Amino acid sequence: MKKIYRFFLYIFIIFASHSLKANDFGVNNRFDVSTMANQIATADSSYVNNKNLLKQNYPNPFNPTTTITFILPERSYVELNIYNVLGVKLATLIKGVKSAGSYSVQFNASNYPSGLYIYELQTDNYKQTKKMIYLK
């Protein structure tokens, strides 16, 4: 199910960012799915191989724990921090050098009030933030 959802998500992304050209259509002016599938596979593999990827926490909204997942394409110094909406750092979940690979970290917000929180992944040459909602 995840693969099907992912496939359709990428099709939507490609359609949204790709203006159709004459060579995208095959016989009888029908859209060529194989061309789109090749573009999706190429975009997906190059993105994961060349970028750090911070995924959306799951579940979101959460109560009281959630999982934050990220991918590192190479060995790097990593910090994963949690902030409130005022920008105050509440927790550091990871701080140190990590090898290339996929990582998942649990965040327990039972000591914090309900609300919007921001998590930030920072490496040697990359920084990304995402939002998460804690509901009691």
Name the band, by pLDDT with cuts 50, 70 and 90, for residue 131. very high
pLDDT for 132 beyond 90 = yes
Grouping H, G, I as helix, E, B as strand and the rest as coil, residue 132 is: strand
Same domain, 13 and 71: no
Same domain, 61 and 128: yes
Same domain, 38 and 62: no
Same domain, 39 and 91: no
**What are 82-128's pLDDT values in tens digits?**
999 999 999 999 999 999 999 999 999 999 999 999 999 999 888 99
DSSP letter string, 12-72: HHHHHH----GGGB-GGG-B-HHHHHHHHHHHHHHHHHHS-EEPPPBSSSBSSEEEEEEEE
Same domain, 61 and 122: yes
Read off the pTM. 0.63
User: CATH number for the domain including 102?
Assistant: 2.60.40.1930
Amino acid 8: pLDDT: 54
**What are 2-22's pLDDT values in tens digits?**
555 555 555 555 554 444 444
Same domain, 33 and 77: no
Same domain, 63 and 96: yes
Q: Which residues contact 35 (CB under 8 A, 6 or more apart)?
A: 23, 24
- The number of domains in the chain is 2
Q: How far is CA 89 from the centre of its chain?
A: 21
Alpha-carbon span 98 to 84, nearest angstrom = 25
